[in-house]
Each structure stands twice: as structure tokens, then as C-alpha cells.
Copies of this chain bind each other. A is one copy, B any other.
Amino acid sequence: MQLTGYFRSSAAWRVRIALAWKGVAYETAFVHLTRDGGEQHGPAYRAKNPAGLVPYLEDGGLGFGQSLAMLEYLEETHPEPPLLPADPAARAKVREIALAIACDIHPLNNLRVLSHLTGRLGRSEAEKLAWYRHWVAVGFDAIEALLPETAAEAGCCCGEQVSLADVCLVPQVFNARRFECPLDAYPKIRAVDARLSALPAFYETAPEGQPDAA
């Protein structure tokens, strides 16, 4: 298996966490999202991944984008240790939180959108930061309410078991801190993040330790 990523991509970090959690060996490749105007726009990478985004996962003859598709694929092909519970209702609640991050926060705040705001739309750095923090606040308000009261004590989003919700949450919290988003209103999110960040599958795959972190 080969994962093409970028150290600062929180979507790529999700997949690194899942691979580490399941103990799957893989090769790494890197696409630098800002150098030379963005290597993801080059014809070589576009021929492989027309969306021009990271991450990209290859396994034998299969290659595909979309980090959530990768997480589901890893769960299906390497079910142990699981990142989804067995019960469909519990799986739905895990996916609800994972998607609240992957659909409602991250797509609004990734590099291409921020570049579009400051480039094509001519917005200032301050307006870009306000945009970023707005969508983190809207998303975290919802997630803090969705997390069960037991989450802080359990140290993970859903029940007692680390899940795809956690795999998505930790990189999003990392990004929120990088953009200095206020997190005081989210004690459950902060408690879950603190506990998970102490687990090797999370801290060993963190952005700053990646080979392409300049």
C-alpha cells in the first residue's frame, strides 16, 4: 500500500492514524501543496488523481482519493482492531461525528478555499482567519453537543472504543489550534483530544514528525 500525502493535510493524517491503529505497513509519497504553486496541480499528479487533492491511496492496482473512502476501505480490508463498532446504530453515530468534521468543517477551511478567499475574492488575512474560526466554531458547537456526557471520561467520542470519529477529531483540533481558534467552550472535545493524543497511533503520525515537514 502507498499513501500520498502532505504533512499538514488533516485528511492525510486521518488515514495515517487508521493505518497505524491497524498496524498496516505502507509506503509514503508526498505532494507539496504550496511549493512551486502546489505540486498537486501538476500534470503527473492530476493524471493519477484528477481531484488534485491529498491524500491518495494505492493498493495493488487500486488507486483512489477521499480520506473517508480510505478509512472505510481499511476497515473492510483490515477489520482488526476495528475503528467502527459492530452495531449499525452505533456505526451511524460514529459516522455522524466523522462526517460533521469531514463535510461540515474541513472542506470549508482547506488550503484551496483559503487561497480562493485571499486570491480570487481579494479578502484580507484577517477575513480569512475569521472565516476559518467561524466554521470551526459552528462545527465544534454541534460536535460538543453531539458527544455523550461520558466522552470526557471515556476519552473517545463514542462509547469506550476508538473510532473513525476520533480519527477525524484529533487532526481537526490540531488545525483549530494552529489557527488559534478558541476552544474554551468545548471541554468534551478537549478531553477526548488530550487522551487520544497520548496514544502512539495518533502522536507518531502527527504532522510535525512527517518526513516532508520542512
**A interface residues with partner B (beta carbon < 8 Å):** 50-53, 59, 62, 64-66, 68-70, 72-73, 76-77, 88-89, 91-93, 95-96, 99-100, 102-104, 106-108, 112-113, 116, 120-121, 123, 127, 131, 134, 138, 141-142, 145-146
Q: Report copies per complex.
A: 2
Neighbouring B residues of A113 by C-beta, 8 Å: 108
Give Cα A91–Cα B69 distance, bound, in whole angstroms: 8
Interface residues of chain A: helix, strand, loop or mixed (majority): helix
Q: Output the least CB separation between A121 and chain B (Å).
A: 7
Nearest CB in chain B: distance from A203 CB, A:
26
Q: Is the CB of A104 within 8 A of B107?
A: yes
Q: Which of B70, B95, B142, B146 contacts A68 (CB 8 A)?
A: B95
CB distance from A129 to the nearest CB of B (A): 13
Name the distance in Å between A152's Cβ and chain B's nearest Cβ: 17
| Residues of B contacting A107 in the complex (Cβ-Cβ under 8 angstroms) | 103-104, 107-108
